[in-house]
Structure 1
Amino acid sequence: MNTLTQLHVDIDARVKTIRDNQPDWLCRQGCDGCCRRLAAVPKITEEEWHCLQEGLMALPPEQIKEIRLEIAALAGQTSRPVICPLLDKAKGACLVYAHRPVACRTYGFYVQRDQGLYCKDIESRLNDGALSEVVWGNHDGIDHRLLALGESRELPEWFLADLK
């Protein structure tokens, strides 16, 4: 099992534990707030890019063409928030869910030291006294493991490099 696959397995185990213990967990298909309000253009490693490419290859050519146009627009976008170009906006679902990057897999289930949860809906529930028994994943540990996979680049850079 390669390093990225093992990382996915470990993340999926933490996510499953949280979901199993919290049947009304907010993160699920249709809850796309994080995908519609990205603080920055997603950065991924080369291994994540190859995984993402597998998911993209399964899409119809016209959908890939539309994604490429949205990715190209991201390259010059300075305004925030950013809407993920891999989001099916009508369904509120990721077009490449099984191949999504680590940042997407951990969002809402992992915390980073001194930086909070990021998802305001989950933070609100936590502040109201709910979710106190949740054992969050350690995002600092995930970041450390991602560093071992090599340099991260913004999504448009991978697409542009792939076109050459």
Structure 2
Amino acid sequence: MKTLTQLHADIDTRVKIIRDNQPDWLCRQGCDGCCRRLAAVPKITADEWHCLQQGLMALTPERFRKMGGEIAALAGQIARPVICPLLDKANGACLVYAHRPIACRTYGFYVQRDQGLYCKDIEARVSDGALSEVVWGNHDGIDHRLLALGESRELPEWFADWQRDAD
């Protein structure tokens, strides 16, 4: 977990620098476009899963059951886009924000091989040149560090194994 904790800290530093230099940055609570339009079912490492479990265990039993049903429903889902099961749809906020996976932490703040990993709204600002001074995070470096954390699996797989072990 120490490696994941350091990765979180490094990402938080990059995000803070971008936000501090761009006070009107689009990514904030209430802006949930990325959470409502995932390209695929989230894949996370075991360390990310263990972190996420802490957030799940802090939920009320009712909210946990509802979210668990939504996570389970993602197994084998073919339709796109995918809506993140960790999203409080009424408030546009992540229910486990402090425990969210790396992909959620980096989206909107990192690029990969000169390809932006952000929404259409940020993409439009980039195209207009409005964000030319932003020093984006390097997502290739993040991917390399994630590989060191081991196997990645889809969220419903981790959740199903956890529930099976709990029974």
Coarse TM-score class (shorter-chain normalised):
over 0.9
What TM-score, normalized by structure 2, do the two folds share?
A: 0.96
Question: Which residue matches 2:163?
Answer: 163
Over 3 Å off, 4+ runs: none
Q: Aligned equivalents of 1:56 and 1:3: distance in 2?
A: 21
Tell me, yes or no, if structure 1 residue 154 matches structure 2 residue 154.
yes
Query: What do you get for the CA RMSD once the two structures are aligned?
Result: 1.0
- Stretch deviating more after TM superposition (8-17 or 118-127): 118-127
Letter in 1 for 2:153: R
Question: Which residue matches 1:36?
Answer: 36
Q: Aligned equivalents of 1:72 and 1:126: distance in 2?
A: 36
User: Could you list the per-position Cα deviations for residues 25-61 of structure 1 after superposition, in whole angstroms to 9, with x for gaps in the alignment?
Assistant: 0000000000000000000000000000001111100
Offset at 1:163? 1.4
Question: Which residue matches 2:139?
Answer: 139
Q: Aligned equivalents of 1:102 and 1:10: distance in 2?
A: 11
Q: How does 1:121-136 map to 2 (within 5 A)?
A: 121-136=121-136
Offset at 1:75? 0.4
- Give % identity: 84
Letter in 1 for 2:61: P
Offset at 1:119? 1.4
Offset at 1:114? 4.5
Q: Give unpaired runs (5+ residues) of structure 2.
A: none
CA contact 2:56–2:64 (8 Å) conserved in 1: yes
Equivalent residues, number? 164
Q: Aligned equivalents of 2:102 and 2:60: distance in 1?
A: 24
Q: Give unpaired runs (5+ residues) of structure 1.
A: none
What TM-score, normalized by structure 1, do the two folds share?
A: 0.98
Q: Aligned equivalents of 2:5 and 2:107: distance in 1?
A: 18
